[in-house]
Structures are given as structure tokens and as C-alpha cells.
């Protein structure tokens, strides 16, 4: 029986950051729907926009994508992924194969206001923490439960964990 074809290399998106970025949220690699739409966290069941919206006190899911990114930057939140390129069938992190990491240390060097790096899920944390250590980056790290629907803990539990980002952003948005 022939080996099934390996999918083409999948690549991350450019970072969403600016000089005001205080917290950099790092995912693993965009999923199929995100790649198709060329948008971070495009899958409607992914709770990222709901969670970070609660952190900053903004109704992010109701905004157009470009406005979401503008609001994140305004609130000091940056986005990127720890994997620059990889082979992966489907969208599950467990299917990531032969990956090249993003230059996290290089990006962090360009962010003068950065206070903490947050990892959205276990795969992002594993790959990202290794990259930070190899790059000599000593920065506070926040480990967040994945916003992915594949990580099936209750939304309220995810929300409570994500709200700690307020400490690093210096916000006190109401719960």
C-alpha cells in the first residue's frame, strides 16, 4: 500500500506587535481554517477571541478581523506562533511534524515594553520555552490552557486562567 502524501509545508503568519506590546501570546501554528482565511484563530469554535476579549474588556468576537488586531495592539497584546513552518495533516498540534521554530528571541528584542510571554496551550509552551532558553531570553512566562476546541476543559476554567494576563497588561477590566 502506498504511503499517503504528506501535506505541503504550513507557515505561520507575521507577528502582530508594536512598540506598545506588553504581553506576547504565542500559539503553535495556525490551523486549517486560519490558514484558509489568513487570520489568527479563525475557527469559530476556537475561544481565543472570547478569552482575550474578556482579558482586555473588549467585545472582540463582534469586531471585523482587522479591528480585532488594532484593539489588541492598543491594549498591549501581541500575537505570533512558535512554529514558523511545519508539515501537519489537519489542525491538531499532535500532528505537527518536522517543524522549524520562529525567531522568538529576535522578535522579543524588538519589543521594548514587553513584560511577559504567554503560551496558548501545551505544544506552544513546550516548543516556545525551549526556544526562549536556547535564545538566552529570560522573561516571565504565563502558561495558558489552549483556546482550541480540542482542549475540552470548561470555558470558565480557561477564562479564569487567562484573566491573569491582566496583571501583566496593567488592566483591571471588570469580569
Distance CA 62, CA 49 (A): 9
| Rg for the chain, CA atoms, rounded | 16
Q: Is 120 in the active site?
A: no
Q: How many residues does the chain have?
A: 175
- Which residues of the chain form beta strands (DSSP E)? 10-11, 23-27, 77-81, 83-88, 96-101, 116-120, 141-144
List the 96-101 sheet strands across, edge first: 10-11, 83-88, 96-101
Residue 150: which residues within 8 A CB-CB, separation 6 or more? 92, 93
Catalytic residue among 12, 46, 95, 120: 46
Backbone angles phi, psi at 118, to 5 degrees: -115, 135
Q: Which residues are catalytically annotated?
A: 46
Amino acid at each position: 500500500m502506498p504511503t499517503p502524501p504528506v501535506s505541503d509545508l504550513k507557515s505561520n503568519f507575521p507577528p502582530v506587535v508594536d512598540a506598545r506590546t506588553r504581553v506576547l501570546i504565542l500559539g503553535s501554528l495556525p490551523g486549517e481554517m486560519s490558514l484558509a482565511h489568513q487570520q489568527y484563530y479563525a475557527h469559530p469554535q476556537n475561544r481565543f477571541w472570547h478569552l482575550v476579549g474578556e482579558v482586555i474588556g473588549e467585545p472582540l468576537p463582534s469586531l471585523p478581523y482587522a479591528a480585532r488586531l488594532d484593539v489588541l495592539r492598543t491594549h498591549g497584546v501581541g500575537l505570533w506562533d512558535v512554529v514558523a513552518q511545519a508539515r501537519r495533516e489537519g489542525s491538531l498540534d499532535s500532528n505537527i511534524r518536522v517543524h522549524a521554530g520562529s525567531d522568538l528571541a529576535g522578535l522579543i528584542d524588538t519589543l521594548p515594553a514587553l513584560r511577559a510571554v504567554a503560551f496558548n496551550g501545551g505544544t506552544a509552551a513546550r516548543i516556545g520555552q525551549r526556544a526562549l532558553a536556547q535564545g538566552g531570553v529570560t522573561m516571565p512566562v504565563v502558561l495558558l490552557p489552549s483556546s482550541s476546541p480540542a482542549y475540552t476543559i470548561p470555558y470558565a476554567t480557561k477564562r479564569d486562567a487567562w484573566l491573569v494576563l491582566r496583571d501583566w497588561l496593567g488592566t483591571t477590566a471588570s469580569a
